[in-house]
Amino acid sequence: MTIAIPIAAAVLGAITAGLVSQYIRRSRPILIVDELARSPDMTPHTAGAVPNLDLAAACGDSEFIPSEVSLATHDERVSEKEYVERLHAVLDQTEISIEGLPAITDVARSLSDLLQRADYSAFQSTFGREFLRLWPPLIVGYARGRFHYHTAGPSPLSLPPETDPPETDDTALNHSGLAQYDGVVSRSNVESKSTEFRHDDWEHTIVQNFEGDVFIPLAGPRNLMFPWRYVSVAQQANAQVFALRTAVSFASNYTPDLQEITNYLLSIEEESRPLLESLQAGLEEELRQYERIVVKGFVANRGGVPVTVTNAARLFVELSGYSFTDEDRILKSHGGDQEIEMVIGADREDADPAFDSAVTVSGGSVARFAATSKKRLQDLPDPEILVRAMTGGERKCYLGTMTVSQGRSRIGRSRSRSQLVPVYTERQPFRDSASDVQVPPRGPGGIEGALVQLGWN
């Protein structure tokens, strides 16, 4: 009897140790969501889009938007990711332009005051200081036919025809628009590959570099620049002529031209704000067409062997019994829950989520993940009800995915086997929100108690 007890204890200890070893050596994945949102910015790499060419044309017609919405010239599919990025870039430019309109008006008022006082030096200095704000809409407005000079130009100079193409190589400098002005004296600087132009009626010298750009050197660190490449290649010939004409007007203090420039700048805010705000609304609406359901969180592996999260996932939205009013204002109740197919990948700070690669988490480690719906929100069943439920936030949802891990088939055997196991998050509100995970106070259970509160038990 005295011998049997130690033997039984030893056998029980061996079994317990084996069970503990098996428990430690298997994976223990935990899935936690800390962000759920509607966003057009999380796109599966294979997704395509058909650009809105009317919107692209409207944006391309604005002097405030240098970027193209799409390079497509007809109804053809392009990368959804690239298209959304272009929409964002143009939307940013539109918003910045709207915010900058009052500043253009303020500067134009200052220029008008200086012109009335015939303070040409301050006029030129102010224009040069605000060059990046004033010149692009001015030259693009000219190239697109929204701004015109209404006089023949600074007398006795005659401008070259607007049909002459810009010539920019070294041998063509003497044939540029400036060299064709009557009474202009030019002097070439071989070392800097530039040419200076002077006239008896000019207060300033105009310099043209080997690329055809013109500027007026001013006292101090700033020059008065007149670049003409802000426009498309097809418009650059006329844009260069305009740049030359404007440079001469500034060099000769030609008041009629300076007044027309000032008046145009004064009118920009009133005329451009409605157009820019309309474009802003159109771009925002276009981006909404590419919204998807996006879920972010992390996978924690408390086990001792690696676990791999597959790319396939599902978001289960509990819509059964959800009350809503249809388009005829009739109160209805949704018939069932909704399952949304998701694509999951590693969430990386310096790159897009890797939706084409599984997420592998080693034992005792944590990895961020991001998941996006396979279909755009508008292509899901009952998208309006989903948006209403998400806005209300009283419905629940949870995310599920499959994991693959390596474990021992039996205690004492070395042969391993793969296990495909579903893992789910806790039920949480279905609403567009950032993290609901809160740091709990330290309870009597210490760290283990805190883990239980976070759902890590």
pLDDT digits (tens, 9 = 90+) for 379-395: 998 888 898 888 887 88
Average pLDDT of the segment spanning 111-116: 96
Give the single-character DSSP code of 410.
Answer: S
CB 71 within 8 A of CB 42: no
Q: pTM value?
A: 0.74
Give the tens place of pLDDT for each residue, 6-21.
554 444 444 444 434 4
What is the residue extent of each domain of the chain? Answer: 24-43+291-453, 45-149+254-289, 154-232
Give the single-character DSSP code of 15.
Answer: H
Give the tens place of pLDDT for each residue, 401-423.
998 876 544 444 444 455 688 99
Give the tens place of pLDDT for each residue, 245-277.
999 999 999 999 999 999 999 999 999 999 999
∠ CA 408-413-415, rounded to 5°: 60
Q: What's the pLDDT band for 358 if we cut at 50, 70, 90?
A: confident
DSSP for 203-231, written as a single string:
SS-EEEETTS-EEEE-SSS-EEEE--TTS
CB atoms within 10 A of CB 358: 15
CB 431 within 8 A of CB 391: yes
**Cα(59)–Cα(130) distance, rounded to whole angstroms?**
24
Residue 445's contacts (CB-CB under 8 Å, 6 or more residues apart) are: 452
Give the tens place of pLDDT for each residue, 51-82.
898 999 898 888 888 888 876 555 577 889 98
Residue 456's contacts (CB-CB under 8 Å, 6 or more residues apart) are: 30, 300, 302
CB 363 within 8 A of CB 305: yes
pLDDT over 70, % of the chain = 75
Write down the pLDDT at residue 302.
84
**Cα(191)–Cα(193) distance, rounded to whole angstroms?**
6
